[in-house]
Amino acid sequence: MKKAFIVIAILHIVCSVSVAQVQLKNLRTENLDNPIGLDMIHPRFSWQLVSDQRNVGQTAYEIRMSDNPRDLAKNKQTWSRGKTISDQSLYIPYIGAALTAGKRYYWQVRVWDQTENVSEWSAPVFFQMGLLSPSDWKAAWIVPGFEEDSLRASPLFRKEFNSAKKIRSATAYITAHGLYEAQINGKKIGDAYLTPGWTSYNKRLQYQAYDVTPLLQEGGNAIGVTLGNGWYRSYIAWSGNHDSYGKDIALLFQLDITYTDGTTKSIVSDESWKSSTGAIRYSEIYHGETIDARLAKKGWATVGYHDNEWSSVKRADFSKSVLVATYNEPVKKHETFQPVRIFKTPKGEQVIDFGQNLVGWVVLKAKGKAGDKITVSHAEVLDKAGNFYTENLRIAKAQDNYILKGEGEETFEPHFTWHGFRFIKIEGYPGELKPEDITAVTLYSDMRPTGSFTSSNAMINQLQHNIGWGLRGNFLDVPTDCPQRDERLGWTGDAQAFSRTATFLRDAHNFFAKWLKDVSADQLPDGRIPHVIPNVLGPSAGGSTGWADVSTIVPWNMYLAYGDKQILEDQYASMKSWVDYMKHQSVNDLWNTGFHFGDWLFYSLGDDPDGNSAITNKYLIAQCFYAHSTQLLINAAKVLGKTDDVDSYTALLKRVKDAFVKEYLTPNGATMSNTQTSYVLALQFDMLPEALRQQAADRLVENIKRYRNHLTTGFLGTPYLCHVLSRFGYSDVAYTLLLQDTYPSWLYPVKMGATTIWERWDGIKTNGTFQTAGMNSFNHYAYGAIGDWLYRVMVGMDTEEDGTAYKKIRIQPHIGGGFTQAAASYQTLYGKLASGWKIQDHLLVMDVEIPANTTATVYIPATSAEGIMESGKALSVSKDIEIAGAEKGRVVLKLGSGKYQFSMPWK
Ligand code: BGC
């Protein structure tokens, strides 16, 4: 009896120790932390297992959910998913009774691990439903009741109301034609900017939902909303194009209050609101903002303000059926920068250097007389002589003007514009400019950071830094080509090229999932994808190879990184109709018609008698991407179980490749264009018969040598260049290209002081002059696609395609290039993955960290397992690791989650 008790007690201790080992963290609904305003009927739940033990996996889970968090512990849940045998910890859908609009639900999970130990219930998290149908909107669209002036000053809307009872909770739902900034009782609602973001407004207009409970009070309350032109009607693209979606600027606002007694009330935009204008006199995305502080209406968004002189508003009959909840993370403020240098240029301009090419705006403090005008201009670079250079902004003025009211210290910042800049020029500043009065604030979509990368080479670390800032500068609700000139459009080619790299920098899942919905929405009826999404260039601008393939490449890349089948399901029709478009354009399976950008910005020479420009035939490229898109469609069809499509498109793919070989390959295996890009694409997309592949890779290497170890690729060839080299045994050449620092190369801009990725390989030439101002952005992420190789090949962490989202991890570093160390970490949806290698005292040391509930195959560069140590012990004695064999000079290991350190002798 006593013995039995002791055994039970010991068992209990053992169990509770191991129970405590698995913790549940990062519970997310639709990949968001406690989201407010979801409009899908089956929101999906994900969580992470965290443990300091090895080989931890989930074998079963249980979820419970309630609209009252206190009921969870009492097991009085409104929905539950009882113990389910499954290792799935991502995207478990809610499948229960219909969820109620505006209601908040709490859920928690517990899991069983591989030893059948059950974890504690996780801490509960919540999600809140948004408005689910047009009829949930009691608010009316309203427009200002006054005539607009020619500068289209930003309208203000206000409304006061009384809350007689104590408020339990309140949610504001807001959207606009244009951009909005809303306040309650003088305080900004939320911390997002440039809301409601950019979508194909006439088909999908996002609203945001905010918990505004803390902003409200019993008694009098005031709502104030400012609108700006934004993407809806600013000057966008070229030739004076504006009002892309309409001339009107309009507000839709609904505040749903629940009182402590359970009763509810809605305050909605309607004819009872008032309108006027205030300090923002002018606001254009490209040109900047003008704020006249003398015209600010003090206290206009607080109770008791006298609005007798204000105009009424007009109700407008705009559609509510286009309204959708917000799926991606909104734009928020991030890093701030103080001046690193305040100086006068040779021309006498007062210039400030922030030390980093960034995107956002400047917050400026000033003290002066009423009417003093300060102008802030923005530039990415100084010219050769050291003067402020703005020619590459083309017609974008990128200028903010502030007019002081002259009542002590005033603080200015714009609201409905943004700039890409490292330098600002300040004119008209009253008094002495002090560093503490000038702060640059970055703005970008608030995606979770995911990766970090370091190596023993400072130039490569700077390159990585620049890649990261390319994302920060151009993931501003949509993926843009550049942030500074009169463009800032969702260029599809750039986005597809960079999409995989982006996942290593930030969690781009929801960002791209949202944008892909616009790719579908704006797809042209014949299947072409417009060059830019949202499409503001009209229906004739679409269907370019390598650009339109965004419709297959990005969904597939997102599926690889995040394992979300829903993205494939949502995009499948769009993927298929793009492939069908190419099919219909082809004759005998050869697609050689239409307009294409080609291998944009490849190496080319002006006066080129020897023909050294690296021109790749555009139709050769088109055939490669036709095949690639078809392959990705087949991949998606397999995942989704569409077997008929798998069969028919597999047959098509074979014909497309045959047509390629017939048209573009010599019998000896040279590609028609004989350029790096032609070999890279042909090899990357498996266009060549097996037997001709290695020789094609050899030709690629020969070509690189011919250019004295320089790349000559443009937007389409560059992302795959090093991947192809590594795949065919030429990682040494990949490293040579990576470390090349003369033009054209990745490190040339780094050597020239770049802090971001440039649009062109030679944006600034060696003599300090610029490339043509017509197209010379210093913040264009496309060439930053090398980041993907740095993570997946150099450090060597990748997901297997049959275990996406890094459920099955492949660790296969490529050591070389004279590096003594390289390491990366990456927050997968399962948790932290890390891999790194260093060479020290004739030892190679590899540190690996595998998240719980995943497994990994590790390829150790060694010819035999003997001599490999793991955490100080011979590998052969490790019980946690399976030695699965050897292949191509690597020992293959299978392992589960946990931290491992391998070391072995190194030459
Ligand atoms: C953009 C690009 C884009 C290209 C189309 C440019 O103006 O900045 O990055 O992809 O046009 O070729």
Task: Kindly indicate the confidence band of residue 12, based on its pLDDT and cuts at 50, 70 and 90.
Answer: very low
Average pLDDT value for the chain? 96
**Look-up: residue for tokens 């390319």?**
470
Residue 248 burial (C-beta neighbours within 10 Å; 0-12, 13-18, 19+): middle
- Residue 718's beta-bridge partner residues? none
Question: Does the pLDDT value for residue 814 go beyond 50?
Answer: yes
Pocket test for ligand 1, best of 286, 480, 485, 494 (most atoms within 8 A of CB): 494
Binding site membership of 600 for ligand 1 (Cβ less than 6 Å): yes
Binding site membership of 491 for ligand 1 (Cβ less than 6 Å): yes
Residue 331's closest CA among 198, 226, 440? 198
Question: Does the pLDDT value for residue 2 go beyond 90?
Answer: no
pLDDT for the residue 9: 43
Binding site membership of 30 for ligand 1 (Cβ less than 6 Å): no
pLDDT for the residue 75: 79
Give the nearest ligand 1 atom to 759 CA: 9
**Look-up: residue for tokens 């829903």?**
566
905: helix, coil or strand? strand
Task: Kindly indicate the confidence band of residue 410, based on its pLDDT and cuts at 50, 70 and 90.
Answer: very high
- How confident is the model over 367-382, as a mean pLDDT? 98
Nearest CA to ligand 1 atom 5: 597
E-state strands within 561-695? none
Nearest CA to ligand 1 atom 8: 481
Question: Does the pLDDT value for residue 18 go beyond 70?
Answer: no
Residue 415's closest CA among 379, 374, 377, 363? 363
Plot region of 164 (φ>0 → left; ψ -120 to 50 → alpha; else → beta): alpha
- How confident is the model over 386-397, as a mean pLDDT? 98
Residue 467's closest CA among 741, 712, 713, 750? 750
Binding site membership of 846 for ligand 1 (Cβ less than 6 Å): no
DSSP one-letter string for 6-36: HHHHHHHHHHHHHHHH-EEEEEEETTBSS-E
User: Ligand 1 center to residue 740 CA distance, Å?
Assistant: 25
Nearest CA to ligand 1 atom 12: 597
CB 679 within 8 A of CB 699: yes
Contacts of 783 (CB under 8 A, 6+ apart): 715, 718, 746, 757, 758, 761
Contacts of 851 (CB under 8 A, 6+ apart): 48, 49, 806, 828, 830, 831, 832, 833, 897
Nearest CA to ligand 1 atom 11: 491
User: Ligand 1 center to residue 498 CA distance, Å?
Assistant: 14
Question: Does the pLDDT value for residue 378 go beyond 60?
Answer: yes
CA dihedral of residues 566, 571, 575, 578 (deg, nearest 10): 180
Given the residues 284, 329, 487, 849, the one annotated as active site: 487
Distance CA 335, CA 441 (A): 6
Given the residues 30, 759, 849, 870, the one annotated as active site: 759
User: Ligand 1 center to residue 358 CA distance, Å?
Assistant: 20
Residues 788-809 have pLDDT tens digits of 999 999 999 999 999 999 999 9
Question: Does the pLDDT value for residue 364 go beyond 80?
Answer: yes
User: Ligand 1 center to residue 535 CA distance, Å?
Assistant: 14
Residues 149-179 have pLDDT tens digits of 999 999 999 999 999 999 999 999 999 999 9
Give the nearest ligand 1 atom to 775 CA: 7
Contacts of 1 (CB under 8 A, 6+ apart): none
pLDDT for the residue 165: 95
Residues 581-624 have pLDDT tens digits of 999 999 999 999 999 999 999 999 999 999 999 999 999 999 99
Binding site membership of 783 for ligand 1 (Cβ less than 6 Å): no
Give the nearest ligand 1 atom to 492 CA: 10
Binding site membership of 482 for ligand 1 (Cβ less than 6 Å): yes
Name the helix (H) or strand (E) containing 890: strand 890-895
CA atoms within 13 A on the CB side of 829: 32
pLDDT for the residue 73: 83
Give the nearest ligand 1 atom to 547 CA: 10
Q: Phi and psi of 360, rounded to 5°?
A: 160, -130
Binding site membership of 487 for ligand 1 (Cβ less than 6 Å): yes
Taking each helix axis from N to C end, the angle separating 643-664 and 565-585, rounded to the nearest 10 degrees, works out to: 50
Residues 677-715 have pLDDT tens digits of 999 999 999 999 999 999 999 999 999 999 999 999 999
Pocket test for ligand 1, best of 550, 600, 601 (most atoms within 8 A of CB): 600
Binding site membership of 597 for ligand 1 (Cβ less than 6 Å): yes
- Report which DSSP code applies to 794: I
Task: Kindly indicate the confidence band of residue 76, based on its pLDDT and cuts at 50, 70 and 90.
Answer: confident
Q: Residues 817, 828, 512, 529: is their CA dihedral positive or negative?
A: positive
Q: Residues 292, 297, 299, 300: is their CA dihedral positive or negative?
A: negative
CB 114 within 8 A of CB 854: no
Nearest CA to ligand 1 atom 3: 491
Name the helix (H) or strand (E) containing 499: helix 492-505
Residue 459's closest CA among 467, 470, 449? 467
pLDDT for the residue 21: 75
Binding site membership of 481 for ligand 1 (Cβ less than 6 Å): yes
Give the nearest ligand 1 atom to 597 CA: 12
Residues 639-669 have pLDDT tens digits of 999 999 999 999 999 999 999 999 999 999 9
Question: Does the pLDDT value for residue 10 go beyond 80?
Answer: no
Give the percent of the chain with pLDDT over 90: 96
Q: Is 759 a catalytic residue?
A: yes
CB 816 within 8 A of CB 722: no
Nearest CA to ligand 1 atom 2: 481
